[in-house]
């Protein structure tokens, strides 16, 4: 057993921010299912939204976020996040993050993305996430009170009387389960976009934190709102490569196969419309024309500007035969961000004592029915710092004696075909039945199909030894089920959830909340 004061499950921006803040007073253990760099943070391109421009205001950033969130944002969460946006950027600079500066080198260069009324997105060229991730990792590795466990995957949380006591964690190299005892546990394991066949996310985004929280008895909120990024590179050899929204912020056009700017038909802001609108518009153009992709074009902009602003995207596209300074980029929508998650307060606190959730794993209500671009990395820093402060004010020593993991009644599986088959079937099912545009019939069919898969998975769990692929599959299938159940419960179209059988919006919308008391889901 490993005894730690604070256990953090996930090593992206949220988890590392919390670890660095808490390490001033406590011993912190951070577990990462792969290497510490393999998080959604590392892959983020665009930037971090914050009120820093001379003409920008907190009120305008709040108003933009509320508008994009389509009427169901938690206004307190939005205000808290935006008011702390500048201090979050200042803290990241203190941590060593090198943001792109203006030509004179005196101010941060700010760009504009969909939904924003001002230039307020700080960035590090087009690899902001990589810069943030590397800087926070470097800082964390220098701190004695932080111990990082790579290639470790949480199996289940340990709770008693609605209080968190730690977690059972699978060591992927030793292939054994370790007991982590903690006084406070933070879920910061990212989103669940890997539940879909096509996604911009790394392989690890299987909804682990949400599944762990659900099994422990936490409430989940807004799971039906899955954001599809409008522009992922369409190429048979390109795996999950995102074409940043910042290109559209700098004037890139969306074109159909007739070279027409089709966004003019769908929204007054054209290419800078909110992501849900852009994704649905591309999806509709593809369906109407029978084409597998549309185009993004920035070739009309000065070559020098394009190369300076988007060097990584230019290099990646060039490797697939597209020179973005000359050529149109074939693009397609792909699952990108989970707006719902573990229901929390403004300090990441859940309905389980001493258990917190932050970042994409959590649902504070900041994003409502649709996340505005570049609010996600901001959310990671702001709410991680709030959670750290809450833990410090409410710290209690866990004196409970924990039981070790019992694997005496299971056997080693002779074959893993169930894992690979159900992994593929779940992701294709979600893509075909619970995608950008939904219907009652498809959702009900998806529910019946996922129940069969989940029963198979739970039977496997009870009878065979664990491996990392199966742990992820168990979480993935559960989260898929919860997304489907949540989508069925929402009898309207709002934000990222569009149901052709309920095309209108309920006048007074509200966030959805699901719990094990209401839904009989394992």
pLDDT in tens, 226-237: 999 899 999 988
Tens-place pLDDT, residues 423-462? 999 999 999 899 999 999 999 999 999 999 999 999 988 8
Share of the chain above pLDDT 70, in %: 99
Domain 417-514 fold is Methane Monooxygenase Hydroxylase; Chain G, domain 1 (1.20.58)
When mean pLDDT is compared across 76-85, 312-321, 398-407, the lowest value belongs to 398-407
Q: Specify the pLDDT at position 261.
A: 97
Q: Specify the pLDDT at position 177.
A: 95
Element (H, E) at 32: strand 28-32
Q: Could you give the 3-state DSSP secondary structure of residue 94?
A: helix
In sign, the C-alpha dihedral spanning 97, 100, 101, 103 is positive
Instruction: List residues bridging with 349 in a β-sheet.
Output: 356
Cα distance between residue 111 and residue 122, in whole Å: 7
Decide if pLDDT at 356 tops 70: yes
92 falls in which pLDDT band (50, 70, 90)? very high
Tens-place pLDDT, residues 99-155? 999 988 889 999 988 889 999 999 998 899 999 999 999 999 999 999 999 999 999
Is residue 23 within 8 Å of residue 145, measured between CB atoms? Answer: yes
Domain residue spans of the chain: 232-334, 417-514
Which residue, among 372, 345, 335, 346, has the nearest Cα to 476 in the 3D structure? 335
Decide if pLDDT at 522 tops 80: no
Tens-place pLDDT, residues 156-204? 999 999 999 999 999 999 999 999 999 999 999 999 999 998 898 888 8
What value does the mean pLDDT of the chain take? 94
Cα distance between residue 522 and residue 517, in whole Å: 11
271 falls in which pLDDT band (50, 70, 90)? very high
Higher confidence at residue 276 or residue 450? Answer: 450
259 falls in which pLDDT band (50, 70, 90)? very high
Q: Specify the pLDDT at position 236.
A: 85
CATH of domain 232-334: 3.90.700.10
Q: Could you give the 3-state DSSP secondary structure of residue 444?
A: helix
Q: Specify the pLDDT at position 72.
A: 96
Tens-place pLDDT, residues 462-473? 888 899 999 999
414 falls in which pLDDT band (50, 70, 90)? low
Model pTM score: 0.91
- Per-residue pLDDT, averaged over 301-326, amounts to 95
Q: Which residues contact 462 (CB under 8 A, 6 or more apart)?
A: 410
406 falls in which pLDDT band (50, 70, 90)? confident
Tens-place pLDDT, residues 319-352? 999 999 999 999 999 999 999 999 999 999 999 9
Q: Specify the pLDDT at position 37.
A: 87
Just list the catalytic residues: 275
When mean pLDDT is compared across 82-86, 286-290, 389-393, 497-501, the lowest value belongs to 286-290
The 10 Å Cβ neighbour count of residue 238 is 15
| CATH topology agreement for domains 232-334 and 417-514 | no
């Amino acid at each position: 057993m490993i005894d730690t004061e604070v256990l953090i499950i996930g090593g992206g921006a949220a988890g590392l921010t919390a670890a660095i803040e808490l390490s001033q007073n406590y011993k912190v253990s951070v577990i990462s299912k792969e290497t510490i760099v393999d998080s959604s943070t590392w892959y983020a391109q665009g930037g971090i939204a914050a009120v820093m421009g001379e003409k920008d205001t907190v009120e305008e950033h709040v108003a933009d976020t509320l508008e994009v969130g389509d009427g169901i944002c938690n206004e307190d969460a939005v205000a808290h996040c935006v008011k702390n946006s500048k201090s979050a950027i200042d803290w990241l600079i203190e941590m060593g993050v090198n943001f792109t500066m203006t030509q004179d080198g005196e101010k941060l260069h700010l760009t504009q993305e969909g939904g924003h009324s001002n230039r307020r997105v700080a960035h590090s060229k087009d690899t902001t996430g990589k810069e943030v991730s590397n800087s926070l990792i470097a800082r964390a590795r220098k701190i004695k009170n932080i111990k990082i466990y790579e290639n470790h995957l949480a199996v289940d949380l340990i709770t008693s009387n609605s209080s968190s006591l730690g977690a059972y964690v699978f060591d992927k190299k030793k292939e054994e389960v370790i007991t982590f005892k903690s006084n406070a546990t933070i879920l910061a394991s990212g989103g669940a976009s890997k539940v879909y066949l096509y996604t911009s996310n790394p392989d690890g985004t299987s909804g682990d934190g949400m599944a762990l929280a659900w099994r422990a008895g936490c409430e989940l909120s807004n799971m039906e709102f899955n954001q599809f990024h409008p522009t992922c590179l369409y190429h048979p050899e390109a795996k999950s490569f995102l074409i940043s929204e910042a290109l559209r912020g700098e004037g890139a056009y969306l074109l159909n196969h007739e070279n027409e700017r089709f966004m003019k038909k769908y929204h007054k802001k054209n290419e800078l419309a909110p992501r849900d609108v852009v994704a649905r518009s591309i999806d509709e153009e593809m369906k109407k024309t029978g084409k597998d992709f549309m185009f993004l074009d920035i070739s009309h902009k000065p070559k020098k500007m394009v190369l300076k602003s988007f060097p990584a995207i230019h290099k990646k596209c060039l490797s697939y035969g597209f020179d973005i300074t000359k050529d149109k980029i074939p693009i397609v929508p792909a699952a990108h961000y989970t707006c719902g998650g573990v229901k929390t307060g403004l300090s990441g606190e859940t309905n389980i004592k001493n258990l917190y959730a932050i970042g994409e794993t959590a649902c504070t209500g900041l994003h409502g029915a649709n996340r505005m671009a570049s609010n996600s990395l901001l959310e990671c820093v702001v709410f991680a710092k709030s959670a750290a402060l809450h833990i410090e004010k409410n710290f209690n020593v866990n004196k409970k004696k924990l039981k070790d993991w019992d694997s005496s009644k299971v056997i080693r599986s002779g074959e893993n075909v169930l894992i690979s088959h159900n992994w593929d079937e779940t992701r294709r099912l979600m893509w075909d039945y619970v995608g950008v545009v939904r219907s009652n019939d498809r959702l009900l069919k998806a529910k019946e199909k996922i129940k069969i898969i989940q029963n198979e998975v739970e039977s496997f769990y009870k009878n065979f030894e664990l491996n990392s692929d199966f742990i992820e599959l168990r979480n993935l299938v559960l989260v898929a089920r919860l997304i489907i159940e949540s989508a069925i419960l929402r009898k309207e179209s709002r934000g990222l959830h569009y149901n052709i059988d309920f095309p209108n919006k309920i006048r007074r919308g509200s966030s959805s909340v699901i719990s094990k008391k209401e839904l009989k889901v394992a």
